[in-house]
Amino acid sequence: MSMAAEYLKKRVSVITADGRHYLGTLESCDQVLNVVLSSCVERIHSVEVGAEDMPLGVFLIRGSRIVCIGAVDTFEEATIDVRNLRGPPLPRVVV
């Protein structure tokens, strides 16, 4: 079982090697950290117009693409208007 198993059925934030940011409920994970997120959105960051959440539904992310995964405080998240979050998109991870 992977270290992410402690986050099962909890809302998580996932950053991938290509700089994408996903949020969703962790439904499943395996020993190589492949994850399945339900109620998944991709948060697209922008300096000009703020962040935007694009709904994706159920989404699979390969473990080899994941840079970071962490729990989200759902109460804190509910107080944030993502349209007011401004910043450049995350850069790609270069290996």
pLDDT tier at 83 (50, 70, 90 boundaries)? Answer: confident
CA dist 95 and 90 (Å) reads: 15
pLDDT tier at 82 (50, 70, 90 boundaries)? Answer: confident
DSSP label of 93: P
- Dump pLDDT digits (tens) for 6-52: 899 999 999 999 999 999 999 999 999 999 999 999 999 888 888 99
Q: What tokens does 51 get?
A: 């962040």
Q: What pLDDT score does 95 carry?
A: 65
Q: Is the dihedral of CA 75, 56, 22, 27 positive or negative?
A: positive
Q: What pLDDT score does 46 carry?
A: 87
Whole-model pTM: value is 0.89
Do 67 and 61 meet the contact criterion of CB atoms below 8 Å apart?
A: no
CA dist 82 and 93 (Å) reads: 24
Sole residue written with tokens 């059925």: 9
Q: Which residue ranges form the domains of the chain, and what is each CATH number? A: 3-84 (2.30.30.100)
Specify the pairing of strand 35-44 against strand 11-16.
unpaired
Q: Per-residue pLDDT for 94 more than 80?
A: no
